[in-house]
Amino acid sequence: MTERVVLAYSGGLDTSVAIGWLGQETGAEVIAVAVDVGQGGEDMDEVRKRALACGAVESIVVDAKDEFADEYCLPAVRANALYQDRYPLVSALSRPLIVKHLVEAATYHGATTVSHGCTGKGNDQVRFEVGAKALAPELKVIAPVRDYAWTREKAIAYAEEHDLPIDVTKKSPYSIDQNVWGRAVETGFLEDIWNGPIEDLYSYTSDPAQQRDADEVVIAFEAGAPVAIDGKPVTMLQAIQQLNVRAGAQGVGRIDMVEDRLVGIKSREIYEAPGAMALIAAHMELENVTVERELARFKRGVDQRWGELAYDGLWFSPLKQSLDAFVMKSQEAVTGEVRMTLHAGKATVTGRRSATSLYDFNLATYDEGDTFDQSMAKGFIEIFGMSSTLANKRDQSLAGE
């Protein structure tokens, strides 16, 4: 039986060239797998046909938009996942989903190898390969761009020589990755971190400095999941899509940051994630209302670690799976509504209500109806500070000797 390679196929130059090159170098049949995670911009049926025209024996397009939203973006909302407190894991969340479908295709078609178009400087190579090894340790991996110094110039020459049906002349100055959760832009003039971003970089968001009326939105959650917008039921995918439009129109979700890549270098990235940032902001505020103090304090550390694991490509790791269980348990009471004003690049919470709220008006108020017994506070302070008081008395005594 002829060997088979399953290639993560984007439809672009590098992965289109990789189809023929992999067949030529390995003698294997190449099966192209393109996963639709809401990246938009191109007809996925055209992507499928292009892979066949480039020499794939089979071209598979998976509509995974709902799966991506429900099984990857929703857990990220519940974990308030912001790598380095800013990045909502735009690309990182899609990689384990793509890996899952690569491995499933490899199993179904009897392939021994999977392949991707990542370079040796980025995070995605780790996400693809660690994920694939976790799900199917027996699979081999080939990364032509990284392993064989496959440059753009070589790819263009190969495409021209083999008359491949792809545009090899148009080159964006940026490297762009996008899906329904957001958009990531890097390289080009952005590699000089003193250079400010320009409006041409953005696609999901409008200029936040433009004059426009504010947009008020009410997001309803059940157990940490968005279930309605302005009273109308939505799926997770619909919630992201609707807020991408509404928050994006207000310039919400623009991020310009220098981040720590897993491979040890720092990288300047421009992100747009209007729906993601609005949903996470609303969810965090509802947690403030419904999650008990000690659980909330501990969860903040869990959230940070969850985001790091997802960023680092350890989606299928035992620790990530265990943290998932903790996060899910913490969401049992995270039900209610959050009102937000979307305006001038900000998603600002202006109201919150919940049947499972831990906010007690009568305990919080300083006006009539106050039920808080302030006489208990003095004794509480004495006991709470006792260990610190004793230690400081000892240290002062020792210092005086």
Residue 306 lies in a domain: no
Of 171, 197, 219, which residue sits at a domain end?
A: 171
The annotation status of 259 as a binding-site residue, yes or no, is: yes
- For the chain, percent of residues with pLDDT exceeding 90: 79
Residue 221 lies in a domain: yes
pLDDT tens, position by position, 333-365: 999 999 999 999 999 999 999 999 999 988 888
**Gap between the Cα atoms of 105 and 107, Å rounded:** 5
Is 164 one of the annotated binding-site residues?
no
Q: Which of 146, 175, 324, 339 is catalytic?
A: 175
d(CA 81, CA 133): 24
Write down the pLDDT at residue 31. 97
Confidence grade of residue 170 (pLDDT, cut at 50, 70, 90): low
Confirm whether residue 15 is marked as ligand binding: yes
The stretch 189-216 carries a mean pLDDT of: 96
In this structure, the answer to whether residues 167 and 245 fall within a common structural domain is no
Q: Is 388 annotated as a binding residue?
A: no
Residues 158 and 197 in one domain: no
Q: Is residue 232 part of a domain?
A: yes
The answer as to whether 11 is a domain residue is yes
The answer to whether residue 11 scores a pLDDT higher than 90 is no
Q: Is 187 annotated as a binding residue?
A: no
Residues 142, 223: one domain? no
CATH assignment of the domain containing 392: 1.20.5
**16 is an annotated ligand-binding site residue:** yes
Q: Which domain holds residue 247?
A: 176-291+333-353
What span, in angstroms and rounded, lies between the C-alpha atoms of 157 and 163?
Answer: 10
185 with 108, same domain: the answer is no
In a domain? residue 310: no
Does residue 95 carry a catalytic annotation?
yes
- Whether residues 156 and 231 share a domain: the answer is no
**Residue 140, C-beta contacts closer than 8 angstroms, at least 6 positions apart:** 112, 113, 114
| Co-location of 123 and 213 in the same domain | no
Do 99 and 242 lie in one domain? The reply is no
Of 154, 171, 188, which residue is a domain's last?
Answer: 171
Instruction: Determine whether the annotation assigns residue 350 to a binding site.
Output: no
User: Which of 112-121, 142-151, 172-181, 294-303 has the least mean pLDDT?
Assistant: 142-151
Active-site annotation holds for 375: no
Give me the catalytic one of 124, 246, 267, 268: 124
Is position 199 within any domain?
A: yes
Give yes or no for residue 169 having a pLDDT over 70: no
> pTM of this prediction?
0.94
Tell me, yes or no, if 14 is annotated catalytic: yes
* Domain assignment of residue 255, yes or no: yes
Q: Is 293 helix (H, G, I), strand (E, B) or coil?
A: helix
Task: Please check whether residues 212 and 337 belong to one and the same domain.
Answer: yes
Instruction: Tell me what the pLDDT averaged over the chain comes to.
Output: 93
287 in the same domain as 225: yes
pLDDT at 23: 87
Residue position matching structure tokens 């947690």: 287
Give me the catalytic one of 48, 95, 183, 254. Answer: 95
Give the number of domains in the chain: 3
Above pLDDT 70, what percent of the chain? 98
pLDDT, mean of residues 40-50: 87
Report the b/e string of 253-281 with b at 16+ CB within 10 A. Answer: bbbebebeebeeeebbbbbbbbbbbbbbb
* Active-site residue, selected from the candidate residues 4, 14, 50, 59: 14
Domain harbouring 35, CATH code: 3.40.50.620
325 located within any domain: no
Please give the DSSP secondary-structure letter assigned to residue 367: S
11 is annotated as contributing to ligand binding: yes
Q: Which long-range contacts (CB under 8 A, 24 or more apart) does 187-192 make?
A: 190/268, 190/269, 190/270, 191/268
pLDDT, one tens digit per residue, over 49-107 is 999 999 999 999 999 999 999 999 999 999 999 999 999 999 999 999 999 999 999 99
Q: Is 192 a catalytic residue?
A: no
Q: Based on the fold, state whether residues 183 and 163 are members of the same structural domain.
A: no
Say yes or no: 244 and 274 in one domain: yes
Full DSSP string of 195-241: SPP-GGG-SS---TTS----EEEEEEEETTEEEEETTEE--HHHHHH
Residue 112, marked binder: no
Domain endpoint, select from 171, 197, 229: 171
Question: If pLDDT is split at 50, 70 and 90, which confidence band does 166 have?
Answer: confident
134 and 278 in one domain? no
